[in-house]
Amino acid sequence: MITSKSAIITKLPNVGTTIFTVMSSLANEYNAINLSQGFPNFPVSDELISLVNQNMKKGYNQYAPMMGIKELREVISEKTYNLYNVKYNPDSEITVTSGGTEAIFDAITAVVKTNDEVIVFEPAYDCYVPAIELNGGIPVYISLKYPDYKIDWNEAKNKITPKTKLIIVNTPHNPTGAVLDENDLKQLANIVQNTNIFIISDEVYEHIIFDGLKHNSLITVPELQQRSFIVSSFGKTFHATGWKTGYCVAPKELTVEFRKIHQFVTFSTFTPLQYALADFLKNPANYNGLPKFYKKKRNIFLNSIKKSKFIFVPSKGSYFQNLCYSEISDEPDYDLAIRLTKEIGVASVPLSAFYHDKKDEKILRFCFAKDDETLNRAGERLAKL
């Protein structure tokens, strides 16, 4: 073994390997059904795959422009306008990124300086806080309450100080499946009005929303839109998480700073896919069917555990369903997630992983982006508990 001469003083003392990697590795090791890390197990559209292939053969294999190819930025602009009625300028307000995570890192890094406070609602997706801390920022936590995880906007207002630089919201929400309604947006607009607070809105599940609910993008409220980085993900929308491609739309002044970071994090994003997406995204049928498609999967999963003692509120959006097991066991959620992977062969993510203080409310998160047979098999095993 080679020993290094000097030890690194860690910048992230509270961070280990992500729970997604831990649980997926364990699922593989024990050959368990993997409902932990969120990714589909069914194929990407043949048409999209052919388009990527054709563009590789056409020779689009060198660096794309730093901000993304113009053709794709133009289609993103049209799509955003058609859905949310705001026209972003493709040249100065839209950036293609290597996934939603990169976009979130870039936006946080563009905005947060030493000792700036950032409001984070917990449970929170795991990439927000490390990015805040790497930039010297201070996360200010607000804990959302099981089972509906509604934001108490009065509490949020009370947490705002002169140091508050940024608020991060996420709708549809990973890991709870909660969504922001119009009233939430109104309240958020009220509390940021007359401040210089920026917002990152993680909307990577914008097309995965159920039961007739509409996705309330922050783009639709001018008070919010003008101060927000809105992040979306092609990986989620087109069942291809491994392609790591997403984008950020933000007003010009924000995009200037965003791109300064983006250009030194990845510089640019996978070229042939951008040409393929520029074509594929033109057809709204390629994403409009997602609510119906995923609602069916959610219902298959919930139906398969109907007779169990799990307690749940059906997910409103995203491809995650939380199940509370307080009637089944009093084990810590992390231990149970590990035990279920090893013993019954179903992997999930313990919700405590999404809290800085590892709050354990006896809840596990299951990904239902799986073929029907896999969902039924997992449900059968879980129903026996």
Q: What are phi and psi for residue 79, nearest 5 degrees?
A: -60, -45
Q: How far is the CB of 76 from ligand GLN (least distance, A)?
A: 21
Distance CA 369, CA 359 (A): 26
Site residues (CB under 6 A) for ligand GLN?
Answer: 18, 20, 37-38, 174
Nearest to 318 by CA among 170, 126, 96, 111: 170
Closer CB to ligand GLN, 51 or 375, in the complex: 375
Closer CB to ligand GLN, 134 or 138, in the complex: 134
Q: How far is the CB of 376 from ligand GLN (least distance, A)?
A: 21
Q: How far is the CB of 242 from ligand GLN (least distance, A)?
A: 10
Closer CB to ligand GLN, 18 or 25, in the complex: 18
Closer CB to ligand GLN, 37 or 274, in the complex: 37
Q: How far is the CB of 37 from ligand GLN (least distance, A)?
A: 5
Closer CB to ligand GLN, 139 or 177, in the complex: 177
The tokens of 6 are what?
A: 């000097």
Q: How far is the CB of 221 from ligand GLN (least distance, A)?
A: 26
Q: What are phi and psi for residue 46, nearest 5 degrees?
A: -60, -40
Q: Do the Cβ atoms of 122 and 356 come closer than 8 Å? A: yes
Count Cβ neighbours within 10 Å for each residue of 5-30 and write b for 16 or more, e otherwise. Answer: eeeeeeeeeeeeeebbebbbebbeee
Q: How far is the CB of 269 from ligand GLN (least distance, A)?
A: 17
Closer CB to ligand GLN, 39 or 275, in the complex: 39
Q: How far is the CB of 260 from ligand GLN (least distance, A)?
A: 24
Helices (H), the chain: 19-29, 46-57, 70-84, 100-111, 128-134, 153-159, 182-192, 222-225, 234-237, 252-265, 271-280, 285-288, 290-304, 333-343, 372-383
Q: Do the Cβ atoms of 31 and 345 come closer than 8 Å? A: yes
Q: How far is the CB of 125 from ligand GLN (least distance, A)?
A: 6
Closer CB to ligand GLN, 60 or 270, in the complex: 270
Closer CB to ligand GLN, 171 or 174, in the complex: 174
Nearest to 215 by CA among 289, 316, 321, 124: 316
Q: How far is the CB of 375 from ligand GLN (least distance, A)?
A: 16
49 Cβ contact partners less than 8 Å away, ≥ 6 residues apart:
none
305 Cβ contact partners less than 8 Å away, ≥ 6 residues apart:
323, 379, 382, 383
Cα torsion 299, 300, 302, 304 to 10°: value is 160
Distance CA 180, CA 354 (A): 19
C-alpha distance from residue 15 to each of 172, 275, 344, 375 (Å): 25, 37, 29, 31
Q: How far is the CB of 29 from ligand GLN (least distance, A)?
A: 17
Closer CB to ligand GLN, 88 or 149, in the complex: 149
Q: How would you list the strands of the sheet with 349-350, edge to edge?
A: 320-324, 363-367, 349-350
Closer CB to ligand GLN, 69 or 230, in the complex: 230
